[in-house]
Chain A
Amino acid sequence: MPTRPSDSEVTTTRPTKIPKMEDSIDVVSASTATAPIPSYRPDAKERRYDRQLRLWASSGQKSLEQARVLLVGCNATGCQSLKNLVLPGISHFTILTDAKTTAQDVATNFFLHPESLGQNVADEAVKYLKELNPAVEGVANVQDPATLLKSEPDFFTSFTLALCCDVDPDLELSIADLLWQHSSTPGNRDVPLMSIRNSGFIGRISIQLREHCVIDTHPDSTHTLRIDQPFPELETYARSLDLDSMDSMEHSHIPYLVLLVRALCDWRDAHEGQAPSFEFRDEFKETLRKGKHKYDEENFDEAIGQAFKCWNTSEIPYEVESLLSRDNVKNITASSHNLHILLHTLGIYLQSHPLPPISPSLPDMHSSTESYITLQNMYKRQYQSDLAEYKSVLDKVLDSVGLPSGAVPVTEIESFVKNSGGVDIVNGSPLSAQRDVKGLTREAINEHFADPESENHLAIAEHLAILAAERYRTKHSIWPGTTSDTTADCQILEESIKEMSGLTALPGMAKEAIVEVVRGGFSSLPTTAAFIGGLVAQEAIKLVTDQYSPLDNTVIVDLVKSTTTAFKL
């Protein structure tokens, strides 16, 4: 669960009584520091951003501080999204719209004021959003977006990311097409686009991106212990221990990892080189249990608990393997993304190694300091040696595509080699394809919409209702639900969905989804705006920092049911 105790409670959970241990070392001698230690106390900026640096570190922060975000349209949802990006410190935002502030805008958008009424809404919102963080630059562009798209398309491609909030469906598709064309041109940076719609309690976010490389998904664990395939130094060390003649203190502080490697070696020696298979698990655990000198040796208990690692074979992770088989990883050029080059190199490395380079990180385990540090250093040495080999392969790869050694920064190489299981590549699709009733949308209709039992049934129904509403808007120039005759609007959307889906009768909750979508009249309920604004910013941060896996590629928010449903179109 996400909640953790407060500061005040932690003090009470800390042990208050210190048991006197006979084998304790002299703590006084431990505190006699020698040379003065530099402080590295955080500066004002680090203190301001402290709580977020603990999530995406200075590398993520640096990317954030270079990000330029464009918001087209200026409703409550768009401004809430920007608020959550200005606070953590993006470089720049521009709000593009020629709209004037209405009373409805003021009532739903916290970043407007009654005095904003009738003024350019972009000017007003920029003014109030900028107050949130003096380090962020904010600009209002009060031109008509459609005109600007024709006269100055480069304006749109000059951003890191574009958000479209409540933008006319046709205009939105034109902007999306422009960005897709731009991103598909070799040598150009990908400019992802997020399309945002909301109506009352219902909302939808769609992401268009060409390809997104995640350099750190932040997996739960980055350890690659490989107990089943110990590297030579580890095996030699484990074999060298004279377990029987050790004193009890030493014996009860051998790290469980070493105990397992040793037990595995002993087992193999006694079984013609065969590792224990799953069927022999009890027998194997019994040999560990017999090795105890005293019944309460915690390190042996840990070893028994982790014994499954001896018969679970370490393999190249499935996700890594599938990344290696991608065309743009197999075939690289001088302009390939660094992650493609690093993965390509890993593919070659794996031709002569059974597994990717080992990670230097170790979990904590019951052990003496000395044994633990000894073990940690062995893993670090192995990592350094794997890294050196990997780098020599990389140099050849770089050379083969005409890049100098050093074309990929050392920090990137090291972070990849330490955590090659923690990368990901997301393939996107153009917004126009997501809006067509073909391909994945067709599949979603057949699989989830036509089947009221499907767990995504309602979410797909809501998506189709929004899609039908967008077509309505294009045809009638207003959104459904904006006049008092909502029944007629529902009727029109029903017919539209029948036509899209090819179904003659609407299944399950489809009619209900339509009624709820029409009810809101595509206005911004402040709570829905804040909810979606939070999600948009979260995904924007992931896209900008290349950390954590982003939404791929659509989510429906239903705040009647208090649910979100993500799917790919």
Chain B
Amino acid sequence: MGANGLANGSSSLSGSNGLNGESSKRYASYLANSNRYEAVDRMLDRRGPWTDEQFVGGSEAKAFLRQKAKILVIGAGGLGCEILQNLALTGFSDIHVIDMDTIDISNLNRQFLFRESDVGKSKALCAADFIMSRVPGVKVTPYHGKIQDHAPDFYMQFAIIIAGLDSISARRWINATLVNMVDEENEDSLKPLIDGGTEGFKGQARVILPTITSCYECSIDMLTPPTVFPVCTIANTPRLPEHCIEWASVLEWPKTFKDKKLDTDDPEHIEWLYQKATARAAMFKIEGVTWQLTQGVVKNIIPAIASTNAIIAASCCNEAFKIATTCAPYLNNYMMYTGNSSIYTYTFEHGKRDECPVCGGEASLVRISKDWTLEQLVEHLKEAQEFKLSRPSLSSESGPLFWYDPPGIYEATKGNLDKLVFDLLGPEGGAVSVTDKALPAANLSLEIQFE
């Protein structure tokens, strides 16, 4: 894995055999210099004006940071590469990183631990190798896979978790998992989650203390809703190049290829869509279908640059450093950054949501029409900005209303989809509890009322 960065030397302490005499001496002399961490030590040996009274600092803080604090990085992409670099230089020495992706050429404009020769390799493995080759004394343990493949026990071993993800579903999953892990009897079960995200010149960093501060799910309604084009526009009245591209991917692809799934990473597939969309655009005299736009629309590409990732990842790691050492108060609890006009940050406390399905306790009131079927309610839970569920299973106080799984219950309850909620719950409405794979082990409580 990863010949990168090894051009002139060792990959770790044990690998220093290949060095010539001079560089070997320099290496040893670096390690012998106990003052090399001066920049970080100053923050740990000196108290700041805003440092908490409990701060002890000195050797105790250094030992925790450098020997004990096991930290997990979720994502080894744009943010992940930066996060790993910063953690290693700050002094964290037991770093774990998890990512299911492999390296693509379009990553190389910002994911600076990877080189052209790494394309196709595992991001987690490659990034871990690189960090260990560059920063002596740091152990990075990579996991090539999904966060969902690990049980709560796995997450229990870490002191802090930093997420640099581009996926909402993964964020919701880790957030819900960490909130559920909190056991009031066990202080160690509370794992600070530091979450970063970027888009173009904008980004945000936040600190989530599960059950104590607002969680990721509390702010789910702050997300920009994805652009969804109505199907009748795509099918009948296209006006924009995007409409023609959606037509090609949503309607034409499944019609033409039946069982073959569209692979948005396959350039041949994009080419096919581009050709179809271009032909359709020409027929309707619509301008502006390009290869890049086609790819952007079907892959929902978000612009990404090194500098924004650097800013947000640095902020995340700075909070991790402050949490691990208490040398300064950590972020409470949200920093928003906007760089497209001058430099602007907004730092504020995002409040908890009482009806948050993950960390709140109260039921969400949902007022629906008397003529809604259960299927309409299910669709509403998928689409509404404050729920955004993928496969919600619903139960009333008297038992399952509709469950996606297991197959037995699905078969037994799917007939309810066509029935009116009014008939299923009675004229007064009532409590409905919802589970969904987006929210592991969490129950969303609804209070249904009729208009």
| Chain A partners chain B | yes
Residues of chain B from 355 to 379 with CB closer than 8 A to chain A in the complex: none
Q: Which of B228, B283, B304 contacts A13 (CB 8 A)?
A: B228
- In angstroms, Cα B331 to Cα A563, docked, is 10
- In angstroms, Cα B83 to Cα A531, docked, is 11
B14: interface (CB < 8 Å): no
Query: Smallest CB-CB separation from B287: which chain A residue?
Result: A376
Residue among B37, B167, B237, B283 with the highest chain A CB neighbour number at 10 A: B237
Of B176-184, B198-206, B409-417, the one with at least 4 CB within 8 A of chain A = B198-206
Q: Which residues of B contact A555 (CB under 8 A)?
A: 343
Of B121-129, B270-278, B396-404, B443-451, the one with at least 4 CB within 8 A of chain A = B270-278
Interface size on A, residues (CB 8 A): 120
Contact A115–B23 (Cβ < 8 Å): yes
A559: interface (CB < 8 Å): yes
Contact B39–A33 (Cβ < 8 Å): no
Q: Which residues of B contact A481 (CB under 8 A)?
A: 42
Contact A201–B328 (Cβ < 8 Å): yes
Q: Which of A55, A80, A368, A486 contacts B46 (CB 8 A)?
A: A486
Residues of chain A from 81 to 125 with CB closer than 8 A to chain B in the complex: 83-84, 87-89, 103-104, 106-108, 110, 113-119
Contact A531–B223 (Cβ < 8 Å): no
Encoded as 1 (CB less than 8 Å from any B CB) or 0, chain A from 481 to 508 comes to 1000010000000000000000000000
Residues of chain A from 535 to 557 with CB closer than 8 A to chain B in the complex: 535, 537-539, 541, 548-552, 555
Contact B170–A6 (Cβ < 8 Å): yes
Q: Which residues of B contact A381 (CB under 8 A)?
A: none
A436: interface (CB < 8 Å): no
Contact A113–B9 (Cβ < 8 Å): yes
A327: interface (CB < 8 Å): no
B345: interface (CB < 8 Å): yes
Query: Smallest CB-CB separation from A134: which chain B residue?
Result: B116
Contact A104–B42 (Cβ < 8 Å): no
Using known A-B contacts A30-B280, A537-B307, determine if residue A526 contacts B90 with beta carbons closer than 8 Å.
yes
A185: interface (CB < 8 Å): no
Q: Which residues of B contact A221 (CB under 8 A)?
A: none
Chain B's nearest CB lies how many Å from the CB of A207?
10
A521: interface (CB < 8 Å): yes
Using known A-B contacts A83-B112, A84-B307, A521-B42, determine if residue A47 contacts B105 with beta carbons closer than 8 Å.
yes
Of B26-34, B152-160, B185-193, B420-428, the one with at least 4 CB within 8 A of chain A = B26-34
A8: interface (CB < 8 Å): yes
Q: Which of B36, B235, B329 contacts A104 (CB 8 A)?
A: B36
- In angstroms, Cα B233 to Cα A21, docked, is 11
Q: Which residues of B contact A537 (CB under 8 A)?
A: 306-307, 310
B386: interface (CB < 8 Å): no
- In angstroms, Cα B314 to Cα A108, docked, is 13
B214: interface (CB < 8 Å): no
Contact A54–B303 (Cβ < 8 Å): yes
Contact B284–A88 (Cβ < 8 Å): no
- In angstroms, Cα B283 to Cα A37, docked, is 13
Chain A's nearest CB lies how many Å from the CB of B49?
4
Contact A42–B112 (Cβ < 8 Å): no
Q: Which of A37, A87, A550 contacts B275 (CB 8 A)?
A: A37
Contact B271–A4 (Cβ < 8 Å): no
Contact B49–A515 (Cβ < 8 Å): yes
- In angstroms, Cα B204 to Cα A27, docked, is 43
Chain B's nearest CB lies how many Å from the CB of A51?
4
A534: interface (CB < 8 Å): yes
Using known A-B contacts A2-B202, A37-B279, determine if residue A534 contacts B310 with beta carbons closer than 8 Å.
yes
Q: Which residues of B contact A551 (CB under 8 A)?
A: 342-343
Chain A's nearest CB lies how many Å from the CB of B174?
13
Contact A373–B286 (Cβ < 8 Å): yes
Contact A31–B252 (Cβ < 8 Å): yes
A564: interface (CB < 8 Å): yes
A372: interface (CB < 8 Å): yes
Q: Which of B39, B136, B306, B342 contacts A84 (CB 8 A)?
A: B306
B169: interface (CB < 8 Å): yes
Q: Which of B85, B311, B343 contacts A110 (CB 8 A)?
A: B85
Residues of chain B from 278 to 304 with CB closer than 8 A to chain A in the complex: 278-280, 282-286, 290-292, 295-296, 299-304
Encoded as 1 (CB less than 8 Å from any B CB) or 0, chain A from 517 to 531 comes to 001110111111111
Q: Which residues of B contact A115 (CB under 8 A)?
A: 8-9, 19, 23, 26-27
Contact B235–A106 (Cβ < 8 Å): no
B53: interface (CB < 8 Å): no
Q: Which of A27, A113, A566 contacts B251 (CB 8 A)?
A: A27
Query: Smallest CB-CB separation from A119: which chain B residue?
Result: B26
Residue among B37, B308, B341, B390 with the highest chain A CB neighbour number at 10 A: B341
Chain A's nearest CB lies how many Å from the CB of B267?
7
Using known A-B contacts A2-B202, A526-B89, determine if residue A104 contacts B39 with beta carbons closer than 8 Å.
yes
Contact A538–B202 (Cβ < 8 Å): no
Using known A-B contacts A4-B300, A5-B300, A541-B307, determine if residue A14 contacts B250 with beta carbons closer than 8 Å.
yes
Q: Which residues of A contact B4 (CB under 8 A)?
A: 131
Q: Which residues of A contact B54 (CB under 8 A)?
A: none
Q: Which residues of B contact A47 (CB under 8 A)?
A: 105-106
Q: Which of A55, A539, A562 contacts B305 (CB 8 A)?
A: A55
Contact A200–B43 (Cβ < 8 Å): yes
A10: interface (CB < 8 Å): yes
A150: interface (CB < 8 Å): no
Q: Which residues of A contact B343 (CB under 8 A)?
A: 535, 538-539, 551, 555, 564, 566
- In angstroms, Cα B304 to Cα A88, docked, is 11
Query: Smallest CB-CB separation from A47: which chain B residue?
Result: B105
Q: Which residues of A contact B300 (CB under 8 A)?
A: 4-7, 10
Chain B's nearest CB lies how many Å from the CB of A565?
8
- In angstroms, Cα B224 to Cα A47, docked, is 27
Q: Which of A23, A53, A562 contacts B331 (CB 8 A)?
A: A562
13 contacts between A and B (CB under 8 A): A2-B199, A5-B167, A15-B230, A41-B291, A44-B105, A83-B310, A114-B30, A520-B39, A533-B310, A534-B306, A549-B342, A562-B315, A562-B347
The 10 closest A-B pairs by CB, nearest first: A534-B310, A33-B279, A6-B167, A534-B311, A512-B49, A526-B89, A531-B314, A530-B314, A103-B36, A114-B30
Extra contacts, 8 of them, besides A9-B390, A103-B30, A538-B339 (Cβ < 8 A), are A21-B232, A30-B247, A40-B290, A44-B105, A107-B37, A201-B318, A534-B308, A562-B331
